[in-house]
Amino acid sequence: MAHRRRSDQEWLELFQQYGNSALNQREFCRRNQLSPSTFFSKRRSLELTRGNPKSGFVRTAVVEQTTRYQVMAPINTDMTLSFNDVELSILRNTPAGYLAELILELSS
C-alpha cells in the first residue's frame, strides 16, 4: 500500500468515488491502494468533524461540573441544618459521605 498523506478534500473525493462505485469497501481500497482500516477511520473522523447526522455521534460540551465534598476532619459536635421552616438535626457520628449526599440532594 502506498503511504501518501492526503488532504481532507482528497479523502472526501475518494469517499464520493466509493459511494458512486459498485465496489465493496475492501475492493475499492485494494484498487486505490488504500488501507481499509485507514479508509474507515478517516471516513468516520470526517463525518464527525463535519457534523454528519448518520455518524451516530454528536459533539458535546460540559455545561455543569459536579462538586465533590471531602471532610478534612471528623465532625466533633451535633449540628442542625435549617432551611425555610424545616430543621434537620444531625448527630456527630453521622458518616461524612451521608452528609455530602444529603447536601447534594437538597441542593438539586
Per the document, the length of the chain is: 108
The pLDDT tens digits for 34-70 are: 999 898 888 888 876 766 555 555 667 777 777 766 6
pLDDT band at 27 (very low <50, low <70, confident <90, very high): very high
Residue by residue, DSSP assigns 77-104 as: S-EEEEETTEEEEE-TTS-HHHHHHHHH
What is the structure's pLDDT at 29?
92
**Average per-residue pLDDT in the chain?**
79
Contact indicator for 74, 95 with CB cutoff of 8 Å: no
- Written as one letter, the residue type at 9 is Q
- The pTM of this model reads 0.44
